[in-house]
Amino acid sequence: MLKWFRPKYCLFLGIDISPTSIKILEISYYKNQYCIENYAYVRLASDDSRAKIIATIKTLLSQLNSTVKTAAIAVPDVTVISKTIQLANSLNAIDVEKLSFLEANKYLAGNIYVDFSIIGPSEKNVAMMDVLLVAAKADKVDKRIELFREAGLDVKIVDVESYAIASVINRLSAEDKYRVVALTNIGFEILTVTVFDNEKIIYRQEEVFISENHEKELDSNRIKLHIKNQVELFFSTSSYDFIECIYLTGEVGELSFLVQEIQDQIGIPVKIANPFSELKISKNIKLNELKKIAPSLTLAFGLALRLAYEH
C-alpha cells in the first residue's frame, strides 16, 4: 500500500490537574477506533511547590514513555464566565467574535481570552441565534499553560472542565443511552454536580468538600448528603422533574457501596462511570487496575478526545 493511503495512527494526551492530583491519559486513533494506550496518576500534597509539580509532570511523562509532546488541558469552571447570549442570525463569524468580546468585557475587565460557539437558532426569537460565550482572565490561563511548557509540553487546547466532560457523556455506559443525566465528580476538595440534557449543560454546582481527613479518605456520608441536596436544588430551580441516571466520577475509589445507598435515598438510578466501556485497551494495561481508576480519568479522557476532534 502506498504510504499516503495508509490509515493514519495518531496519539493524543489529555491532562487533568487539580490541587490534589495529576492525571494523564494517552489515547490513540487508528482505523476509526480509539484505544487507551497508557495513563498516569499521582496525588499531590497541599504544600507541593510549583517546581515540584513541574518535576512531577516530567516524571509522569517519563513513566508513560510517550512520544507525544502536545496536550489538551482544562481550567476550572469557577475561573471562567460562561453565558448564552442572543445575536442576530445574519451576523458573520467576525461580527459574532467582536460582539462576544464586547459582551465578555461587561463581566471581566482587563486582558481576557474569549471563545464562542454558535448553538443554533434561538427559541426566544426566530431572527436571533444562541451563542455560547466563554471568557477567562488571560493571566490565569497563561499561568497554567506555562506550567506545562516548563514540563516540556506544548498546550494545543485549553478547555473548560465541564465542557470537556460533556464530550464523554455519551460514552459512560455501553448499555444505556439516557437524555437527562447528572454527573457527580467526587474530588478530595470539591464535589461537583452537573446535569446534562442531550449532552448540553443545564445545571452545574460546586461545593467545597474538605474534611479533616481529606488527605486519607473521603467522607461517604457527606458525599451522599451533598448529592441529595444538589439534586433537590436542581429540581427546585428548574422546570425539570426527573433525572434518568446519576453517574459517579472522580475519586470514587472504594466507594462503590455508595451506588445502592444513594439510589435508595433519592430514588434515581446511580452508576459508577466507565468512560472506556466501548474502547479498545492496550494489551500493556492491566484491566483490573484501569477499571478501578477509570472514573477518575473521565476529564483527562474528554480532553484527549478534544485534541482528537481538532486534529
CA pair distance 117, 210, nearest whole angstrom: 35
pLDDT per residue rounded down to tens, the chain (311 residues): 444 444 567 999 999 999 889 999 999 999 889 999 999 999 999 899 999 999 999 999 999 999 999 999 999 998 999 999 999 999 999 999 999 999 999 999 889 999 999 999 998 899 999 999 999 999 999 999 999 999 999 999 999 999 999 889 888 765 667 789 999 998 877 889 999 998 889 999 988 766 555 444 567 888 889 999 999 999 999 999 999 999 999 887 667 788 899 999 999 999 998 899 889 999 999 999 998 899 999 999 999 999 999 87
pLDDT digits (tens, 9 = 90+) for 98-108: 999 999 999 99
Residue spans per domain, the chain = 77-138, 169-274
CA pair distance 47, 44, nearest whole angstrom: 8
pTM (2 d.p.):
0.89
- Domain spanning 169-274 has what CATH number? 3.30.420.40
Determine contact, residues 62/82, Cβ cutoff 8 Å: no
C-beta neighbour count of 89 within 10 angstroms: 17
pLDDT digits (tens, 9 = 90+) for 145-191: 999 999 999 999 999 999 999 889 888 765 667 789 999 998 877 88
3-class SS string, 87-143: EECCCCHHHHHHHHHHHHCCCCCCCEEEEEEEEEECCCCCCEEEEEEEEEEHHHHHH
- Domain spanning 77-138 has what CATH number? 3.30.1490.300
Ordered DSSP codes for the chain: --GGGSPP-EEEEEEEE-SSEEEEEEEEEETTEEEEEEEEEEE--TT--HHHHHHHHHHHHHHHT----EEEEEE-GGGEEEEEEEEETT--HHHHHHHHHHHHTTT--SSEEEEEEEEEE-SS-TTEEEEEEEEEEHHHHHHHHHHHHHTT-EEEEEEEHHHHHHTTGGGS-SS---SEEEEEEE-SSEEEEEEEETTEEEEEEEEE---TTTTT---HHHHHHHHHHHHHHHHHHSS----SEEEEEES-TT-TTHHHHHHHHH-S-EEE--TTTTSEE-TTS-HHHHHHHGGGGHHHHHHHHHHHHH-
So what's the pLDDT on residue 104?
94
Q: Give, in degrees to the nearest 5, the angle at Cα 242 between 240 and 248.
A: 115
So what's the pLDDT on residue 176?
66
Phi, psi of 21 (to 5 degrees): -165, 165
